[in-house]
Amino acid sequence: MPSCAPWRKREAGSRPLSEIYKDETSVRRELKFLQQFGGHKNVASYHGAYYQAPLEENSLELLEVVLEFCEGGSLQELINTNSKSLKEPWIGYICREVLKGLHHIHQHRAVHRDIKGPNIMLTKEGRVKLIDFGLCRDLDPKTGLCHEPEGTPHWMAPEAIRWNGEDPSYDTKVSSYYDQRRVEHLIINNQPPKLRAETWSQQFVSFLDSCLKKDPAERWSAEELLQHPFIAGLPPKKIVRAEIREHLQALKKWPAKK
């Protein structure tokens, strides 16, 4: 394997094929996690990787990684194309499916570290899939913590941010923290955001509060959040999935099922 081969991904969504330059260690690590977790129903299936010979004399060979095609696009795209807030049952359904995927990852003593809208995909049937394991890491077997402060800043928990030279160690509860941060000191020093009780249900307000506890010792884990009344009380997923599928069909102009 070349030490710096372009890593060409056939993405799980509708985005075009992309080329990313990665070193051999990073490539091997991501392939390891794709193979390990790709069989879970809430993780995009991994179909394999293969080399493509250089097309020109001075070009590098490409490693192509083939993942499950998620025609519904990303959660970020769904949010951006909807003219108003997503329905609360839709939010709950997506959160539940993401939590199932995270719980599976955490059971194997690993953390995804890059949970965000663009990395949460939807299939044509409205199923939810996690993608992009480039920042995924195994937890330290001795401490049960991750000691690397990586991730997308807008979605990082306070303890995952290196601040004033402090050790940024954190555990699996980091994945349930979805604070939108503009600058690092706001996450460190400000209180977590709260939903307006007059707009959202009390159970949803409580659920978000459980996700955003600033103290990781008080923050609920993915396993605990799956038992939260907001998640436990959701309508049958068949109903919610059908609504999302209908919305995606109209949005993307798919032909109606016969």
Tell me the CB-side half-sphere exposure of residue 7, using CA atoms within 13 A. Answer: 19
Q: Which distant-in-sequence residues (6+ apart) come within 8 Å of 207 by Cβ?
A: 92, 95, 225, 228, 229, 230, 231
| C-alpha distances in Å from residue 256, one per residue of 11, 70, 248 | 25, 18, 11
CA dist., res. 144 & res. 109, Å (int): 8
Structure-block tokens of residue 102: 């995270």
Q: What is the DSSP letter of 13?
A: S
Q: Is the dihedral of CA 38, 149, 211, 116 positive or negative?
A: negative
Name the active-site residue from 114, 132, 138, 179: 114
Cα dihedral value 20, 22, 28, 30, nearest 10: -50
114 is catalytic: yes
Cα dihedral value 89, 95, 97, 103, nearest 10: -150
The answer to whether 114 touches 134, Cβ cutoff 8 Å, is: yes
Q: Which residues are catalytic?
A: 114
